[in-house]
Amino acid sequence: MKIGFVSLGCPKNLVDSEVMMGQLAARGHELTPHADQADILVVNTCSFIDPAKKESVDTILEMAEYKKVGRAQKLIVAGCLVERYRDEIRKQIPEVDAVIGTNELDEIVALCEGTPAEANPFEQYLYHDLTPRILATPRHYAYIKIAEGCDHPCTFCVIPQYRGKFRSRRFQSVVAEATRLFRQGVREINLIGQDTTCFGEDHGIQNGLALLLERLAQIETAQEKWIRFLYAYPNKITQKLLDTMAQYPSLVKYIDMPLQHASAPVLKRMKRGASGDIFLKLLERIRRTIPGVAIRTSMIVGFPGETDADFRELCQFVEAARFDRLGIFSYSDEDTSASYHLDNKVDARAIYLRKRRLAALQRKVSRTRNRLLVGTETPVVVEGVSKETELLWEARMPSQAPEIDGIVMINDYEDQPPQPGEIRKLRITEAHDYDLVGTLLASTEPAANMTDGDTVNAPLVHIGPIPKSPSPTPAV
70 with 203, same domain: the answer is no
**Mean pLDDT, rounded, for 421-425:** 95
Domain annotation covers residue 271: yes
What are the distances in angstroms from CA 397 to CA 7, 104, 357?
26, 37, 28
What's the confidence (pLDDT) of residue 455? 47
- According to DSSP, residue 460 is labeled P
State the DSSP string of 68-113.
Answer: HHSS--EEEEEEHHHHHHHHHHHHH-TT--EEE-TT-GGGHHHHHH
Q: How confident is the model at residue 450 (pLDDT cuts 50, 70, 90)?
A: very low
Q: How confident is the model at residue 444 (pLDDT cuts 50, 70, 90)?
A: confident
- Do residues 408 and 435 lie in contact, with contact meaning Cβ atoms separated by under 8 Å? yes
Q: How confident is the model at residue 115 (pLDDT cuts 50, 70, 90)?
A: confident
198 with 307, same domain: the answer is yes
Residues 147/151/154/160 CA torsion (nearest 10 deg): 70
109 with 176, same domain: the answer is no
Write out the H or E segment, with its range, that includes residue 354: helix 348-371
**Mean pLDDT, rounded, for 204-212:** 97
Q: Let me know how long the chain is.
A: 476
Q: Classify each residue of 277-288 as buried b or exposed e, where b means 16 or more C-beta atoms within 10 Å of its C-beta.
A: ebbeebbeebee
160 with 58, same domain: the answer is no
Domain annotation covers residue 197: yes
- Do residues 382 and 408 lie in contact, with contact meaning Cβ atoms separated by under 8 Å? no
What's the confidence (pLDDT) of residue 125? 87
More confident residue, 458 or 370: 370
Q: What angle (nearest 5°) sits at the alpha carbon of residue 267, between those of residues 201 and 360?
A: 115
What's the confidence (pLDDT) of residue 470? 35
What's the confidence (pLDDT) of residue 412? 93
* DSSP three-state, residue 131: coil
What's the confidence (pLDDT) of residue 430? 96
Query: How far is the C-alpha of 89 from the C-alpha of 85, rounded, in Å?
Result: 6
**Mean pLDDT, rounded, for 152-157:** 94
What's the confidence (pLDDT) of residue 116? 76
Residues 6+ apart with CB under 8 A from 322: 365, 369
Q: How many domains does the chain have?
A: 3
| β partners of residue 413 | 440
Residues 6+ apart with CB under 8 A from 116: 110
Domain annotation covers residue 343: yes
- The CATH number of residue 227's host domain is 3.80.30.20
β-bridge pairing 408-413 and 393-396:
antiparallel
Query: How far is the C-alpha of 288 from the C-alpha of 282, rounded, in Å?
Result: 10
Instruction: Give residue 414's domain range.
Output: 377-440
Residues 6+ apart with CB under 8 A from 450: 139, 184, 185, 421
Residue 15: name the closest of 331, 460, 475, 423 by CA: 460
248 with 352, same domain: the answer is yes
Domain annotation covers residue 131: no
**Mean pLDDT, rounded, for 226-248:** 97
pLDDT at 192 over 70: yes
More confident residue, 237 or 159: 237
Domain annotation covers residue 235: yes
| β partners of residue 256 | 296
| β partners of residue 71 | none
State the DSSP string of 179-242.
Answer: HHHHHTT--EEEEE-S-GGGTTGGGT-TTHHHHHHHHHHTS--SS--EEEE----GGG--HHHH
Q: What's the pTM value of the predicted model, to 2 decimals?
A: 0.92
Mean pLDDT over all residues of the chain? Answer: 91
159 with 99, same domain: the answer is no
pLDDT at 321 over 60: yes
Query: How far is the C-alpha of 255 from the C-alpha of 230, rounded, in Å?
Result: 7
Query: How far is the C-alpha of 431 from the C-alpha of 391, rounded, in Å?
Result: 18
Q: How confident is the model at residue 124 (pLDDT cuts 50, 70, 90)?
A: confident
Domain annotation covers residue 134: no
336 with 387, same domain: the answer is no
What's the confidence (pLDDT) of residue 271? 96
Q: What angle (nearest 5°) sits at the alpha carbon of residue 388, between those of residues 383 and 391?
A: 75
pLDDT digits (tens, 9 = 90+) for 249-292: 999 999 999 999 999 999 999 999 999 999 999 999 999 999 99
Residues 6+ apart with CB under 8 A from 132: 19, 22, 23, 25, 26, 454
66 with 98, same domain: the answer is yes
Q: What percent of the chain has pLDDT over 90?
A: 83
67 with 192, same domain: the answer is no
| β partners of residue 428 | 438
- According to DSSP, residue 4 is labeled E
181 with 262, same domain: the answer is yes
Query: How far is the C-alpha of 423 from the C-alpha of 237, rounded, in Å?
Result: 29
pLDDT at 122 over 70: no
202 with 345, same domain: the answer is yes
When mean pLDDT is compared across 47-56, 101-110, 384-393, the lowest value belongs to 47-56
Residue type, 344: N
Q: What angle (nearest 5°) sits at the alpha carbon of residue 169, between those of residues 165 and 171?
A: 140
**Mean pLDDT, rounded, for 201-217:** 97
Q: How confident is the model at residue 302 (pLDDT cuts 50, 70, 90)?
A: very high
Q: How confident is the model at residue 120 (pLDDT cuts 50, 70, 90)?
A: low
Residues 6+ apart with CB under 8 A from 465: none
pLDDT at 465 over 60: no
pLDDT digits (tens, 9 = 90+) for 339-359: 999 999 999 999 999 999 999
What's the confidence (pLDDT) of residue 336? 87
